C-alpha cells in the first residue's frame, strides 16, 4: 500500500509541474488525493484493461488540469461525479479508437420519433413512469449520457461541455437532441411492453 502511495506521489509532482497558480495546485492535490482510485476504477469498468485504463486515467487528469476553474466551489460529491464523467468519456474515447470506430458525424444518424408511436410524456407522470425514465437513462449509450449529465446536473453551457468532452458545441447540441429522441423511443417501447 505504501509503495503505491509513493509511486503516486511521484506522479503528483509531475502533474503539479504543469499547474501555474497556487490555488489551482491545491484544487488539484485535493482531487488527486481523494479520487485517484475512483478514476482508475471508472476507467477499468469500461476498458477492462490495465494498460488502456492507465491511459484514460492520465488523459482524465490532463483534462482536469485544463479545466481546474470548473471545480472551484463544487461540493465533494459533485467533484467526484464530474471526474467520473470526464474519466468515462476519456475511457470511451480510447475504447472507440481501439475498436476502430470513427466519430459519428453530426449530420448523420438523425433520430426522429415517428408519429405512430404513443406520446411517452403521459406515461411518465406517475411513479412507475418516472422509474421507467430513470431505467432508460441508465441504459442510454455512453456517448450520450455524459452530455445529459453535464447539462442537467451541472447546468453547463454547450461550450463548457464541449471543452470537457473534446467535441464541438454543435456536436454537444446534436448529442442532446439525439439522446432525447432515443429516450422517447425507449420509453414508448417500455410503456407498450408494460401495457
Partner 1 sequence: MINQEADGELFETLLRLAVTQNHINEMALIPSENELSNYYSFSSQFNKKIHRLIRKEKYTNAIRFLNKYLVTTAVALAIILVLTFCRIMMVQEVRATVVNVIIEWFDNNTDFRFTNQMVPQESNVLCRPSYIPYNFYEQSVERTGQITTVIYINADKQSIYFIYSPAQAGYSFGVDNDNSYYSLVSINGVDAHLFKAKSKKDSNHLIWQDSDTSFSLISTINYTELIKMAKTIAKK
DSSP state, 125? S
- CA 8, 17, 52: angle at the middle one, nearest 5? 45
Q: Which of 25, 54, 160, 185 binds partner 1 (CB under 8 A)?
A: 54
Cell of 40: 482508475
Residue ranges in 19-48 that form contacts with partner 1 under rule CB under 8 A: 34-38, 40-42, 44
Pick the stretch among 56-64, 93-101, 103-111, 164-172 that binds partner 1 (CB under 8 A): 56-64
Residue ranges in 120-139 that form contacts with partner 1 under rule CB under 8 A: 121, 124-125, 130, 133-134, 137-138
Min separation Cβ 41 and partner 1, Å: 5
Query: Nearer Cβ to partner 1, position 16 or 104?
Result: 16
Residue 148, classified by CB atoms within 10 Å of its CB into exposed (0-12), middle (13-18) or buried (19+), is: middle
Cβ proximity of 112 and 65 under 8 Å: no
Query: Nearer Cβ to partner 1, position 107 or 155?
Result: 155
Cβ proximity of 91 and 46 under 8 Å: yes
Distance of CA 160 to the CA centre of its chain: 13
Residue 13 touches partner 1, criterion: CB under 8 A: no
Residue ranges in 77-116 that form contacts with partner 1 under rule CB under 8 A: 77, 80-81, 84
Which residues, including other chains, have CB under 8 Å from residue 91's CB and lie 6 or more apart? 42, 43, 45, 46, 47, 52, 53, 56
Pick the stretch among 11-19, 24-32, 93-101, 166-174 that binds partner 1 (CB under 8 A): 11-19
Cell of 12: 503528483
Q: Which residues of the chain form contacts with partner 1 (CB under 8 A)?
A: 1, 4, 7-8, 10-11, 14, 18, 34-38, 40-42, 44, 50-51, 54-55, 58-59, 62, 77, 80-81, 84, 121, 124-125, 130, 133-134, 137-138, 148-149, 152-153, 180, 183
Amino acid at each position: 500500500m505504501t509503495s503505491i502511495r509513493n509511486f503516486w506521489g511521484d506522479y503528483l509532482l509531475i502533474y503539479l509541474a504543469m499547474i501555474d497558480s497556487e490555488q489551482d495546485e491545491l484544487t488539484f492535490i485535493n482531487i488527486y488525493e481523494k479520487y485517484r482510485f475512483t478514476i482508475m476504477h471508472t476507467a477499468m469498468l469500461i476498458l477492462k484493461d490495465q494498460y488502456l485504463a492507465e491511459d484514460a486515467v492520465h488523459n482524465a487528469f490532463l483534462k482536469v488540469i485544463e479545466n481546474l476553474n470548473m471545480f472551484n466551489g463544487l461540493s465533494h460529491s459533485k467533484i467526484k461525479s464530474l471526474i467520473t464523467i470526464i474519466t468515462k468519456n476519456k475511457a470511451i474515447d480510447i475504447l472507440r479508437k481501439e475498436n476502430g470506430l470513427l466519430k459519428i458525424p453530426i449530420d448523420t444518424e438523425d433520430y426522429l420519433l415517428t408519429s405512430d408511436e404513443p406520446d411517452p410524456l403521459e406515461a411518465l407522470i406517475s411513479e412507475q413512469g418516472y422509474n421507467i425514465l430513470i431505467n432508460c437513462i441508465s441504459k442510454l449509450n455512453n456517448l450520450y449520457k455524459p452530455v445529459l449529465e453535464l447539462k442537467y446536473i451541472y447546468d453547463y453551457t454547450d461550450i463548457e461541455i464541449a471543452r470537457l468532452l473534446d467535441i464541438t458545441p454543435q456536436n454537444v447540441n446534436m448529442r442532446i437532441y439525439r439522446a432525447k429522441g432515443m429516450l422517447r423511443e425507449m420509453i414508448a417501447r417500455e410503456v407498450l411492453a408494460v401495457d
